[in-house]
Amino acid sequence: MTLASDRVLAALFLFLLLPVASLAADPAPERARELVRMVRQDCGSCHGLTLNGGLGPPLLPDTLRDKPAESLRYTVLLGRPGTPMPPWNAFMTEAEADWIVRQLMAGFPEETR
Amino acid sequence: MKSLLFVVAAFLLSACSGTALRGTGDLGIVIERASGSVAVVDSTSRSILGRIEGLGDLSHASAVYSRDGRYAYVFGRDGGLTKVDLLERRIARRIIQAGNSIGGAISQDGRLVAAQNYQPGGVKVFDADTLELLADIPAEFSETKQRSKVVGLADVPGNKFVFALFDAGEIWVADLSKSREPKVTKFRNIGKQPYDGLVTPDGRHYMAGLFGEDGIALVDLWKPEQGARKILAGYGKGTEKLPVFKMPHLRGWAVAGGRAYLPAIGKHEVLVVDTTTWQEVGRIPVKGQPVFVMARPDGRQIWVNFAFPDYSNVQVIDTLEQKVVQTLSPGKAVLHMEFTPRGEHVWISSRDDNRVSVYDTASFTKLAELPAQNPSGIFFTSRAARIGF
């Protein structure tokens, strides 16, 4: 099976799960710490540690304000073809992507260690 | 009596300055990305001599050296350019030169420091002594004068800097033999989305890796009139491209024994190119998507680290056998490797395990582990003497 058809299937699957995902609870504290680290460090290699942008655009509340949360969630999970943004759905659930988008829009937490 | 006085005076002087006289040939810095500090390290004693703080946002930071090896110029993501004194272990000078920066270079004569910027897109050139702005080269490319992000900045002989425009698909050569009047030569339509560049150790060829298509753009700087050409075009043809979780980095250390070793974007492969014909002569399967592909200074080995999620490993390619001969696991999230000047040791940073590991490159024995806070780039002063660093 090709990656493209995988992505379509994944998108359909996510669409079906949409209402559930929106109501999903926050990740457990340990997992939340991992996700914060992943966003700051791994997303940060393109978007900057402070999320102020780099090769990828800034991910600050001001820059995301006008963008619908759902499209941001799909960008995180499925990537953006034609740009360097890769899909992250192998490393997080849709509920976790949703949580990340909410955090980004509200002002992303710093890493605690 | 006189000589005793002299000894006492010398002792008092050295006590005042706090350090004995020493060279800088075996010194370096380790970027501590999250804390905005650099650790000054000694590769002979394999120890951390001290820390310098207050360098701002050091995610994706890199450094170049003054030709005397005393000062490091550290380029921060936040547009900070900091001149660090390795001997006195303090910040000598610091400016904020842009909104979003990605690295820099130092000119052949050591007088000019150039920074490559994403925001606003372009290159700025500073006096290496004072950090005074000498020239500003905006990366304007369309009729609307849109500005491109700049990547792959490298110094080449003749006080020139070469760089690539990610959004425009161009390579520019800026001649700064008159430092306030840059003369820019532009190579257009070199390929889609150049993501980084490198200059060969002789300063003759500039290569820009392309993200938007399979291939590498190549410019012969000795024959610029020939223009840019594409090599390795379609290297991924017929195979599925994997998502890229971190952009590879190209640096001058990927050339060894007449061959260039280059990361295959979106693949678990290192591409091997003959630097006479510029034809692909082989591919070496590796454990993940390569980020840095670096030749040991003698060219006998190539060390490779990887993008997320395979980034806790490092592999070593033997250039005679053309295959992987060693796999190491130095720690979680290996971000960078740096060889000692003649290559007997390699220093490897593991961001998530907060340490730098030192390995013997012949026996692969671990010689030391040094604590560092989220270490990323490691830069030794030997870079001061190399073209393209």
Q: Is the peptide bond before B248 cis (omega within 30 degrees of 0)?
A: no
Question: ∠ CA B195-B105-B263 to the nearest 5 degrees?
Answer: 30
Residues B265 and B377 grouped into a single domain? yes
Give residues with Cβ within 8 angstroms of B188, minimum separation 6.
B169, B170
Q: Does residue A68 sit within a domain?
A: yes
Strand ordering across the sheet containing B323-328:
B290-295, B301-306, B314-318, B323-328
What is the widest separation between alpha-carbon atoms in chain B?
85
Can you give the residue range of the structural domain that contains B263?
242-389
Q: Does residue B113 sit within a domain?
A: yes
Residues B216 and B321 grouped into a single domain? no
Three-state SS for A54-95 is: CCCCCCCHHHHCCCCHHHHHHHHHHCCCCCCCCCCCCCCCHH
CB contact (8 A) between residue B57 and residue A46:
no
Q: What does the DSSP 8-state code read for residue B114?
A: E
Residue in B86, B88, B98 with CA at minimum distance from that of residue B57: B98
Q: Does residue A101 sit within a domain?
A: yes
Set of chain A residues whose Cβ sits within 8 Å of the Cβ of B166:
55
CATH number of the domain to which B145 belongs: 2.140.10.20
Best A2, A33, A35, A55 residue to mutate vs chain B (most B CBs within 10 Å): A55
Q: What is the pLDDT of residues B40-59, one digit of tens each?
A: 999 999 999 999 999 998 88
Rounded-to-integer distance, Cα A69 and Cα A91, Å: 19
The question of ipTM being above 0.95 is answered as no
Q: Does residue A19 sit within a domain?
A: no
CATH number of the domain to which A64 belongs: 1.10.760.10
For every residue of B316-357, DSSP letters joined together read EEETTTTEEEEEE--SSSEEEEEE-TTSSEEEEEETTTTEEE
CB contact (8 A) between residue A3 and residue B247:
no
Best B62, B77, B310, B311 residue to mutate vs chain A (most A CBs within 10 Å): B77
Q: What is the pLDDT of residues B258-272, one digit of tens each?
A: 999 999 998 999 999
Q: Does residue B36 sit within a domain?
A: no
| B81, B74 contact by CB (below 8 A) | yes
What is the pLDDT confidence band of residue B10, given thresholds at 50, 70 and 90? low
Residue in B374, B281, B350 with CA at minimum distance from that of residue B319: B281
Q: How far is CA B368 from the centre of its chain?
A: 23
Rounded-to-integer distance, Cα A71 and Cα B73, Å: 40
Rounded-to-integer distance, Cα A59 and Cα A102, Å: 11
Set of chain A residues whose Cβ sits within 8 Å of the Cβ of B310:
none
Residues pairing with B350 in the sheet: B334, B355
Dihedral of CA B91/B96/B100/B104: which sign? negative
Can you give the residue range of the structural domain that contains A75?
27-106
Q: What does the DSSP 8-state code read for residue B289?
A: -
Contact A86/B at CB under 8 A: yes
Neighbours of B311 (CB within 10 A): 23
Q: Does residue B376 sit within a domain?
A: yes
Rounded-to-integer distance, Cα B209 and Cα B15, Å: 51
Rounded-to-integer distance, Cα B28 and Cα B128, Å: 19
- Examine the pLDDT at B91 and tell me if it is beyond 90: yes
- Examine the pLDDT at B14 and tell me if it is beyond 70: no
Residues B229 and B254 grouped into a single domain? no
pLDDT score for A112: 78
Rounded-to-integer distance, Cα B283 and Cα B270, Å: 6
Give the end of a domain, one of B179, B214, B234: B234
pLDDT score for B59: 82
Best B196, B240, B245, B336 residue to mutate vs chain A (most A CBs within 10 Å): B245
What is the pLDDT confidence band of residue A1, given thresholds at 50, 70 and 90? very low
Residues B205 and B74 grouped into a single domain? yes
- Examine the pLDDT at B150 and tell me if it is beyond 90: yes
Contact A6/B at CB under 8 A: no
Average pLDDT of the segment spanning B19-33: 93
* Closest CA of chain B from A48, distance in Å: 6
Rounded-to-integer distance, Cα B102 and Cα B318, Å: 31
Q: What are phi and psi of A107, to 5 degrees?
A: 110, 110
Give the end of a domain, one of B216, B234, B252: B234
The CA-atom distances, in angstroms, between A13 and each of A3, A68, A81, B160, B358 are 15, 19, 19, 53, 47
For every residue of B5-72, DSSP letters joined together read HHHHHHHHHHHHH-S----STTEEEEEETTTTEEEEEETTTTEEEEEE------TT-EEEE-TTSSEE
Q: What is the pLDDT of residues B185-219, one digit of tens each?
A: 999 999 999 999 999 999 999 999 999 998 999 99
Q: Does residue A18 sit within a domain?
A: no
For chain B, the domain total comes to 2
Residues B262 and B306 grouped into a single domain? yes
| B165, B116 contact by CB (below 8 A) | no
Q: Is B93 helix (H, G, I), strand (E, B) or coil?
A: strand
Residues B301 and B227 grouped into a single domain? no
Q: What is the pLDDT of residues A43-98, one digit of tens each?
A: 998 998 889 998 999 999 999 999 999 999 999 999 998 899 999 999 999 999 99
Q: Does residue B1 sit within a domain?
A: no
For every residue of B212-280, DSSP letters joined together read SSSSEEEEETT-GGG-EEEESTTTTTTSPPPP-SS--B--GGGEETTEEEEEPTTSSEEEEEETTT--E
Q: Does residue B158 sit within a domain?
A: yes
Nearest CA in chain B to A77: B243
What is the widest separation between alpha-carbon atoms in chain A?
41
Q: Which helix (H) or strand (E) holds B2?
A: helix B2-17
Residues B217 and B91 grouped into a single domain? yes
What is the pLDDT confidence band of residue B227, given thresholds at 50, 70 and 90? very high
Average pLDDT of the segment spanning B62-91: 96
